[in-house]
Amino acid sequence: MADSNNGSLSGLTEHEAQEFHRYFMQGFLGFVALTIVAHVLVWMWRPWF
């Protein structure tokens, strides 16, 4: 169980949690950008509408 002084269920400090969130969001946005590019390329190859 989390330390009652920390208040975090993950056991991360506030700084560590912010750093993790920053890298997670960068990875997520990179993945979204890649999927958008992939969809545009497929659309150009074979439009589905």
> Each residue of 13-46: pLDDT tens digit?
999 999 999 999 999 999 999 999 999 999 999 9
pLDDT band at 6 (very low <50, low <70, confident <90, very high): low
Distance CA 38, CA 31 (A): 10
Distance CA 26, CA 22 (A): 6
Predicted local distance difference test score (pLDDT) of residue 1: 46
**Is the dihedral angle over the CA atoms 29, 32, 38, 41 positive or is it negative?**
negative
Distance CA 44, CA 46 (A): 6
